[in-house]
């Protein structure tokens, strides 16, 4: 076959395979962005960033099938699409609703959405104990942040709250079912990261609970990730319990050569001692990479890690209290940073 024929074939066939995917235009709180078909409203809002992003307590990007349970991410769709501009009559869950071309959404700019979030937070707090002073999740709790922004000063709930006895999920994890909001994140982690899931939701109605069958221990090598994905203090690290408040610790990015996981972690230091090890999380509190129990619970000597530098903490977070990042030039003068 001649070179000219090959060139003509390339001209004919290459553009077909490289055709660009049609983009959808969506506007959220007056800010417009183009996204791929199949993108959810929440994902589009996160692509825009800033105050348009709805809160999310159950949605977790790395976990399949997460979302659609807590209802904190409800938004108002004021225009369905260019082809059908009628508004949606009810608020929709942004983590499960995909965008349409020309869709217009109201998030924080909608009074209906603001009132709904207040109602959802009040509902989540119906049985949740106000034990932030003794909860290890205080300072990095999504529900604590939501209640500060949308919660009421007093509860209107007059009935006795449901209570459960704390339970040990093996030697590393403590379950406080009283604080659980049934987001299912821990169930999805066990189901998608491990060979066999031994815990889940039992019971119905207001007595449904996350537990294991006959209190069986959770012993897989990635069980510690259940702690990282929990948005409240229902699952806590037994090796860190009551040792320190998170805002008294100094978080550092570090890594090690681990044969089981990515080995990229956040070390939470007090002085020269590692108090706990967690996965690194992005600005939405989602793990950038899941880590194994060896890295999390059994590698707490400083010489076992390669320190990359201080972890960036949003200045609005309580964790930033007493934690100040030095300019890059001064960081380079510090040994091993």
Q: In CATH, what number is assigned to the domain containing residue 46? A: 3.10.20.740
Q: Is 18 a member of any domain?
A: no
Q: Phi first, then psi: give them for residue 254, nearest 5 degrees.
A: -150, 165
Q: Is 7 a member of any domain?
A: no
Q: Is 233 a member of any domain?
A: yes
> Do 149 and 234 fall into the same domain?
yes
How many distinct structural domains can be found in the chain? 3
pLDDT value for 205: 81
Q: Is 106 a member of any domain?
A: yes
Q: What span, in angstroms and rounded, lies between the C-alpha atoms of 24 and 33?
A: 8
Q: Is the pLDDT confidence value at 108 over 60?
A: yes
pLDDT value for 161: 87
pLDDT value for 195: 76
Query: What's the pLDDT tens digit per position in 261-303?
Result: 999 999 999 989 999 999 999 989 999 999 999 999 999 999 9
Q: What span, in angstroms and rounded, lies between the C-alpha atoms of 206 and 214?
A: 20
> Do 173 and 112 fall into the same domain?
no
Q: Is the pLDDT confidence value at 337 over 50?
A: no
Q: Is 4 a member of any domain?
A: no
- Domain containing 87 equals 24-123
Choosing from 187, 208, 238, the residue where a domain stops is 238
Q: Is the pLDDT confidence value at 214 over 90?
A: no
Query: What's the pLDDT tens digit per position in 149-200?
Result: 998 878 888 888 888 999 888 889 999 999 999 999 999 998 898 877 888 8
Q: Is the pLDDT confidence value at 122 over 60?
A: yes
| Residue pointed to by tokens 């929709």 | 92
pLDDT value for 49: 92
Q: Is 9 a member of any domain?
A: no
Choosing from 191, 210, 238, the residue where a domain stops is 238
pLDDT value for 11: 41
Q: Phi first, then psi: give them for residue 273, nearest 5 degrees.
A: -105, 135
Q: What is the 3-state secondary structure (H, E, C) of the chain?
A: CCHHHHHHHHHHHHHHHCCCCCCEEEEECCEEEEECCCCEHHHHHHHHCHHHCCCCCCCCCCCCCCCCCCCCCEEEEEECCCCCCCCCCCCEECCCCECCCCEEEECCCCHHHHHHHHHHHHHHCCCCCCCHHHCCCCCCCHHHHHHHHHCCCCCCCCCCCCCCCCEEECCCEEECHHHCCCCCHHHHHHHHHCCCCCEEEECCHHHCEEEEHHHCCCCCCCCCHHHHHCCCCCEEECCCCCCCCHHHCEEEEEECCCCCCCCEEEEEEECCEEEEEEECECCCCCECCCCCHHHHHCCCCHHHCEEEEECCCCCCCHHHCCCCCCCHHHHCCCCCC
- What number is the average pLDDT over the span 22-28? 95
Of residues 163, 157, 214, 206, the one with CA closest to residue 182: 206
Q: Is 6 a member of any domain?
A: no
Q: Is 54 a member of any domain?
A: yes
Cβ neighbours around 329 below 10 Å, total? 7
């Amino acid at each position: 076959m001649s070179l000219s024929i090959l060139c003509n074939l390339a001209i004919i066939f290459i553009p077909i395979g490289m055709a660009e995917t049609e983009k959808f235009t969506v506007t959220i709180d007056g800010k417009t962005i183009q996204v791929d078909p199949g993108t959810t409203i929440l994902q589009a809002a996160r692509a825009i960033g800033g105050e348009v992003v709805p809160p999310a307590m159950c949605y977790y990007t790395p976990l399949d099938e997460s979302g659609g349970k807590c209802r904190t991410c409800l938004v108002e769709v004021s225009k369905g699409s260019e082809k059908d501009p009628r508004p949606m009559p009810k608020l929709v869950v942004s983590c499960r609703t995909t965008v349409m071309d020309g869709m217009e959404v109201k998030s924080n700019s909608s009074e209906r959405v603001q009132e709904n979030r207040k109602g959802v937070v009040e509902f989540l707090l119906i049985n949740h104990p106000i034990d932030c002073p003794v909860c290890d999740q205080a300072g990095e709790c999504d529900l604590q942040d939501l209640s500060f922004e949308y919660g009421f000063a007093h509860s209107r709930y007059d009935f006795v709250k449901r209570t459960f006895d704390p339970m040990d999920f093996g030697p590393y994890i403590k379950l406080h079912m009283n604080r659980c909001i049934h987001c299912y994140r821990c169930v999805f982690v066990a189901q998608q990261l491990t060979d066999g899931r031994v815990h889940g939701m039992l019971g119905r109605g207001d007595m449904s609970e996350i537990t294991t069958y006959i209190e069986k221990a959770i012993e897989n090598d990635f069980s510690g990730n259940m702690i990282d994905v929990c948005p409240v203090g229902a699952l806590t690290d037994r090796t860190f319990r009551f040792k320190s408040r998170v805002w008294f610790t100094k978080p550092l990015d570090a890594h090690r050569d681990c044969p089981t996981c990515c080995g990229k972690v956040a070390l939470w230091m007090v002085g020269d001692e590692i108090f706990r090890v967690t996965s690194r999380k992005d600005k939405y509190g989602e793990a950038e990479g899941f880590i194994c129990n060896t890295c999390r619970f059994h590698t707490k000597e400083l010489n076992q890690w390669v320190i990359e530098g201080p972890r960036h903490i949003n200045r609005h977070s309580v964790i930033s209290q007493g934690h100040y990042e030095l300019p890059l030039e001064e960081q380079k003068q510090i040994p091993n940073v």
